[in-house]
């Protein structure tokens, strides 16, 4: 850690109990968890709905921490020998330390948000940038107020760049993440329906995603899909710098027929227009034929954004034909489960991502089945969006669908799904697996996808058996 104890004085003033301590030394590894904290670390006690890490200050001091921060709201006892700073909000202070560390390292920061494809695009960008050296990238769910600073604090002078995923569940959240990371390049994958129940409209979703530009470097750029009217409007309200628009010929992102969303402003044109050959699995970017590292037209768009990032950082695309990408569990995973092939998309689901996965499913030979789950946080649009998913499955000619439903959509789904040759609506992953196995024959391919709460990964072991 290149942040010194004395650097914290610039943030919060003089510490308490500094005594004879040398403030010219590193603050050490910054830790928020006394279960893993080590001697020489700096402790940041966070406060949650059901816990207050301030209660473990004595334990942290006994382990041998360099120092800590303490909330001014904490009413408990503070060890008398503890070097500490009193702050108004320990979470905000944690983000301040991360920003100070980011500035000291001065590495390029690429930040990614969007309704769909954040993690996939993050992984594609990480792999594309690997020629620069080691890349510090978000892990698992490190896309929130705690996770983004945690990722930044993992960085050292040995690495070449940061790739940060930024999620949100309301207005103002991505703005905070932008301020603590100061991105050089921002990527907004799309504006869809995920979390529309929390934000109320796609226009608000576009505003929330555009917050990623709040602290984007003035000489930086934001990369977006061409033709998204809501996103263009939201960006123009916040950002006056460069916007890089990417497009694939003859490919519309109007998956859900939102005619008010997807049409371009008359005064703009895409900066990159790429041709796509899905049969031979390659994309032509700036005249160079590049092999697609992931299947699906939606993933080709994610890859195009990663190529635009590479171009911004001066990376030659001529050397990007043999990329190996290992996606996290439950995302873009094609698994051989004995007699069946399974497209594992169990991590989460939104209307746009389900449509994209269904289209990828039917692009493969064989009979096509799907285990789909209720999509959450869609608010008043939930029933209509679930209707569109079922209608899409019918239009694509799926052989069978089992829907795991836990909400008000149950009766509507049960009525519509009857139009499929094989159909059922159930309450649990186990019931879904039992139904599915009664239909399957060797060589069939199955998509499994639903919101995280439904735990549809529990279907997979039944298919292996």
Share of the chain above pLDDT 90, in %: 72
Q: Are residues 181 and 140 in the same domain?
A: yes
**Position 79 in a domain:** yes
Q: Are residues 301 and 341 in the same domain?
A: no
Domain final residue pick, 88, 121, 137: 88
Q: Are residues 165 and 306 in the same domain?
A: yes
- State the pLDDT at residue 331: 87
**Position 96 in a domain:** no
Q: Are residues 112 and 243 in the same domain?
A: yes
Tell me the pLDDT band of 409, cut-offs 50, 70 and 90: confident
For residue 17, give every residue at least 6 positions away whose Cβ sits within 8 Å of its Cβ, in sequence order, or none: 80, 81, 82, 83, 84
Residue 17: pLDDT above 60? yes
CB atoms within 10 A of CB 268: 12
Domain final residue pick, 277, 292, 319: 319
CATH number at residue 58: 3.40.1390.10
Q: Are residues 32 and 161 in the same domain?
A: no
Supply the pTM of this predicted model. Answer: 0.92
Residue 150: pLDDT above 90? yes
Lowest-pLDDT range, 251-260, 330-339, 399-408? 251-260
For residue 13, give every residue at least 6 positions away whose Cβ sits within 8 Å of its Cβ, in sequence order, or none: 85
Domain final residue pick, 272, 297, 319: 319
Report the domain count for the chain: 3
Q: Are residues 262 and 169 in the same domain?
A: yes
Q: Round to whole Å and give the CA distance between 80 and 99.
A: 29
**Position 100 in a domain:** no
Instruction: Quick: pLDDT tens for 219-238.
Output: 999 999 998 888 999 999 99
- State the pLDDT at residue 266: 66
**Position 327 in a domain:** no
**Position 97 in a domain:** no
Instruction: Quick: pLDDT tens for 433-453.
Output: 999 999 999 999 999 999 989
**Position 102 in a domain:** no
Q: Are residues 154 and 233 in the same domain?
A: yes
Q: Are residues 161 and 273 in the same domain?
A: yes
Q: Are residues 307 and 181 in the same domain?
A: yes
Structural domain boundaries enclosing 174: 107-319
Instruction: Quick: pLDDT tens for 85-99.
Output: 999 999 999 999 999
Q: Are residues 300 and 158 in the same domain?
A: yes
**Position 95 in a domain:** no
- State the pLDDT at residue 279: 84
CATH number at residue 436: 3.90.190.20
**Position 303 in a domain:** yes
Residue 261: pLDDT above 60? no
CATH number at residue 231: 3.40.1190.10
Tell me the pLDDT band of 253, cut-offs 50, 70 and 90: low
Q: Are residues 119 and 175 in the same domain?
A: yes
Which pair of structure tokens corresponds to residue 161?
């760049």
Q: Round to whole Å and give the CA distance between 453 and 376.
A: 8
Q: Are residues 299 and 369 in the same domain?
A: no
Instruction: Quick: pLDDT tens for 103-138.
Output: 999 999 999 999 999 999 999 999 999 999 999 999
């Amino acid at each position: 850690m290149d942040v010194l104890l004395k650097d914290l004085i610039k943030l919060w003033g003089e510490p308490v109990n500094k005594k004879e301590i040398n403030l010219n030394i590193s603050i050490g590894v910054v830790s928020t968890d006394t279960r893993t904290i080590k001697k020489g670390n700096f402790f940041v006690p966070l406060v949650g709905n059901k816990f207050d890490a301030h209660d473990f200050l004595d334990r942290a001091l006994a382990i041998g921490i360099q120092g800590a921060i303490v909330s001014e709201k904490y009413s408990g006892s503070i060890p008398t020998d503890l070097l500490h700073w009193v702050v108004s909000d320990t979470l905000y202070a944690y983000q301040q330390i991360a920003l100070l560390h980011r500035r000291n390292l001065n590495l390029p920061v690429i930040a990614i948000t969007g309704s769909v494809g954040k993690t996939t695009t993050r992984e594609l960008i990480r792999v594309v940038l690997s020629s620069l050296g080691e890349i510090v990238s978000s892990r698992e769910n490190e896309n929130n107020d705690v996770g983004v600073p945690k990722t930044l604090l993992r960085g050292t002078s040995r690495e070449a760049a940061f790739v940060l995923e930024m999620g949100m569940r309301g207005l103002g959240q991505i703005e905070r993440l932008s301020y603590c990371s100061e991105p050089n390049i921002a990527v907004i994958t799309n504006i869809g329906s995920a979390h529309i129940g929390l934000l109320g409209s796609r226009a608000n979703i576009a505003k929330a995603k555009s917050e990623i530009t709040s602290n984007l470097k003035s000489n930086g750029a934001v990369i977006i899909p061409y033709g998204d009217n809501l996103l263009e409007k939201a960006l123009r309200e916040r950002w006056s710098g460069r916007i890089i628009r990417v497009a694939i010929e003859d490919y519309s992102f109007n998956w859900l027929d939102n005619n008010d969303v997807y049409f371009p402003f008359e005064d703009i044109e895409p900066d990159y227009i790429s041709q796509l050959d899905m049969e031979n699995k390659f994309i032509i970017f700036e005249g160079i034929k590049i092999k697609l590292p992931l299947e699906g037209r939606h993933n080709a768009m994610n890859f195009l954004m990663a190529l635009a990032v590479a171009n911004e950082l001066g990376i030659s695309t001529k050397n990007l034909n043999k990329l190996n990408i290992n996606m996290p569990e439950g995302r873009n995973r094609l698994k051989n489960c004995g007699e069946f092939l399974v497209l594992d998309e169990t991590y989460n689901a939104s209307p746009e991502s389900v449509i994209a996965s269904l289209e990828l499913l039917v692009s493969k030979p064989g009979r096509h089945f799907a285990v789909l789950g209720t999509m959450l946080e869609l608010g008043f649009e939930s029933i209509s969006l679930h209707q569109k998913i079922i209608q899409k499955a019918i239009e694509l000619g799926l052989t069978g669908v089992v829907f795991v439903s836990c909400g008000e959509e149950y009766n509507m789904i049960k009525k519509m799904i009857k139009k499929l040759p094989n159909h059922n609506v159930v309450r649990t992953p186990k019931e879904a697996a039992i139904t599915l196995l009664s239909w399957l024959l060797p060589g069939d391919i199955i998509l499994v996808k639903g919101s995280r709460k439904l735990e549809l990964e529990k279907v997979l072991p039944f298919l292996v058996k």
